[in-house]
Chains A and B, each alone.
Chain A
Amino acid sequence: MNSKSKLLNNIGNFVIFIGPSLIAFSCVLLIPLIYGVYLTFTNYSPIKLTYEFVGFSNFQAVFTDKEFWQQFVKTLGYVFYSTIFCNVIAFLLAYLLTSNIKARGFLRAGFFTPNLIGGIVLGYIWKFIFANVFTKVGDALGYQPLMTSFLTHPDRAIIAMIIVTVWQYAGYLMIIYIAGFVGIPQEVQEASEIDGATGFKKLCSITIPLMVPSFIICFFIVISRGFMTYDLNLALTNGQPYGSTRLAAMHIYQKAFQANEYGIGQAEAIIFFATVAIVAVSQVLLTKKFEVEA
């Protein structure tokens, strides 16, 4: 084969093998992402016929938008508490399920079930639970805080969001932690027991340090998904009461598609993207420091 026909053959194969992927990826992700950066410098709106360049004024508008930052901080809090509680419960479940216990497969499948269901349906299920079931339990027990629905209380509605998030992801993270537990070499465990490390001591000085990779993955999953939470937010609280649970993703949606401010909405989205990337990456780097070899 001469070199010219080889080159043609290579180009032909490139088009066949990578072409479809590349076209779809570019059309729906790459081009919109670049175009999105351009949008942030315009006052484009779908309800106006013309638009012009406005420089950095969209970013200025975002930085002076008090409401956006309040909701931004709320989102950070939501992500923080969700990450902590999801991981603590998932780790506990994985610990219990990897110890000598019967019907492990059944239990594992049970705890995992909430993950199969989308945010919209989960949100509606829990809306009933918070509004009609917890209030009944509160009445029966005479326990004041439960008598009114969490969803109508500006401080507690966000707690409701966190509870549902934990319920949804704990089973998911649990199976990743189980894989981590199972991955700890048998020799290391036996050696540590011979050296007298049992129970809690073994957990702290052997198990946890060896499971750092699992922690990195699990933290990453909740952080990145937590920031993007929209479906659950929409179905469970729809940002209510008084906008107290409107998380960043919902704010961006409403700015763009309800207020028709595409430029400002996209500027918020870019700031949001940068935050997610910084938080997620620094979490990975920070946790990696604790990594040890077995």
Chain B
Amino acid sequence: MKEKKNVFKFAKYVLIYILLILFMMPFYLMVINSFKTTQQFVNNPFSLPKLEKVGFGNYISAFNKMNFLNAITNSTIITLISVLLILLTASMAAYFLVRHKWKINKIIFATLVASMIVPFQAIMIPLVSIYGRLNLMNSKWILIFMYMGFGQGFAIFIFHGFIKNIPLEMEESALIDGCSKIQSFFQIVFPLLKPVLVTVLILDVLWIWNDYLLPSLVLLSPIERTLPLSTYSFFTTYSVDYAPLMAGIVLTIIPVLIVYLFSQKYIIEGVVQGAIK
């Protein structure tokens, strides 16, 4: 019996590590081949690179051709400001919707929740048509405004569920002490929201940082490109020389992996919380 159990356990380990190796293989292959020439990659994608030959040549080439610094700056500005605006406006709105059970508030909340199932494809054409005719395209500020709008439904839904369970007493005594509604929100309620703020922050950062379709419609000039846009244009312009392309992939993944390494626990927890609610 015990022997059988050990065999079973061993098989389990073998299976899970084989799966892990299969899952990680694409990343491994990108990294080793980004240090080779295209010819070496085509001949044998599994061979280890001889460092002295290519070195960081592919990386330097990718870095320049992708305009990497510019793209990562754009991505960072757009992601950070959009997410901060979503967190601020959605938490305030959710708070107000919970604390005032007016009819109009119920209608607003129901509309926001229902909007979460609308696929982006159903909005995309009128969005381009309206903002294009108003000449509002090609600015990262308009893009940030759009993310702020698209982010409301999910964020308000999550905050609403959390604020519902915060007892009223503390706010009431603050109001009696002469606090305004805004003061009591920022001093009492907002600090309590920390766990859900982290959840929404993580999910929205992952969404906005990696989004391609919306920025591709809004940001038309090369100087405004975010990372996914510059990756796309890099690949479509230099599609024959594989080695720098792979270095470009590794470059775009590295910042995300570094953040992941340090906040892995929060990210996974945030994703679970966001999905369960």
Contact = CB atoms under 8 A, between A and B. Distances in A.
Interface of A: 10, 13-14, 16-18, 20-22, 24-33, 35-36, 39, 44, 46, 93, 96-97, 99-101, 105, 107-121, 124-126, 128-129, 132-133, 136, 167, 171-172, 175-176, 179, 217, 221, 224, 227-228, 230-231, 234-235, 248-249, 252-253, 256-257, 262, 265-266, 269-270, 272-273, 276-277, 280
A116 B231 contact: no
Contact of A120 (B27, B42, B212, B271): B212
B217 to A, nearest CB: 8
B156 interface: yes
Contacts of A110: 20, 23-24
Contacts of B24: 110, 113
Contact of B93 (A22, A105, A132): A22
Given A17-B93, A118-B228, A120-B228, 18 more contacts: A18-B108, A20-B89, A21-B156, A29-B115, A30-B115, A35-B130, A112-B268, A113-B24, A113-B27, A117-B210, A125-B249, A126-B26, A128-B246, A179-B272, A179-B276, A253-B213, A272-B122, A273-B121
B122 A28 contact: no
Contact of B112 (A25, A114, A224, A234): A25
Given A112-B268, A167-B23, A97 B257 contact: no
Of B121, B153, B249, most A-chain CB atoms within 10 Å: B121
Q: How large is the interface on B (under 10, 10 to 19, 20 to 34, 35 or more residues)?
A: 35 or more
B56 interface: no
B240 interface: no
B97 interface: yes
A109 B268 contact: yes
B27 A36 contact: no
B232 A266 contact: no
A124 B245 contact: yes
A259 B149 CA distance: 28
Contacts of B257: 113, 116
Contacts of B271: 112, 115, 172, 175
B179 interface: no
A22 B108 contact: yes
A96 to B, nearest CB: 5
A221 B252 CA distance: 26
Which 5 pairs from chain A and chain B are nearest by CB? A118-B210, A28-B149, A17-B96, A24-B149, A21-B93
A31 B89 CA distance: 19
Contacts of A248: 121
Nearest to B13: A101
8 contacts: A13-B181, A13-B182, A18-B93, A28-B146, A30-B111, A120-B231, A136-B44, A175-B268
A124 B231 contact: yes
Interface string B210-237: 1111000100000000001001100100
Nearest to A270: B122
A179 B273 CA distance: 10
A101 B13 CA distance: 8
Given A25-B152, A28-B150, A120-B228, A266 B125 contact: yes
Contacts of B181: 13, 16-17
Given A13-B181, A109-B268, A121-B249, A24 B145 contact: yes
Of A93, A108, A117, most B-chain CB atoms within 10 Å: A117
B112 A273 contact: no
B152 A21 contact: yes
